[in-house]
Amino acid sequence: MPNQVERKLAKRLLRMTATPAPAEAMRREALTIRAAVSTPDAKEGIEAFLDKRGPAFPSATD
């Protein structure tokens, strides 16, 4: 299930790419993706994948 940060970024991406200029939409998409992959959860996901282990996401709550 997506966390609050993921939901915010997805909504932001949808709003930002609603432009008639494809190049501008792609630029905005790149900025949003850059923000998404810089989160602690994204870093943990990548590290867990490379280490071949299950992730321990910092934002996960029990």
All structural domains of the chain with their residue ranges = 4-51
Higher pLDDT, 23 or 12: 23
pLDDT at 56: 92
Q: Which residue has the higher pLDDT, 61 or 1?
A: 61
The CA dihedral of 27, 39, 5, 48, to the nearest 10 degrees, is 120
How far is Cα 61 from Cα 4, in angstroms, rounded to an integer?
12
Torsion of CA 12, 42, 1, 29, to 10 degrees: 20
Helix (H, G, I), strand (E, B) or coil at 60: coil
Rounded mean pLDDT, 42-60: 91
Residue 2 has pLDDT above 80, yes or no: no
Residue 37 identity (one-letter amino acid): V
| CA 57/CA 40 separation, integer angstroms | 8
pTM: 0.57
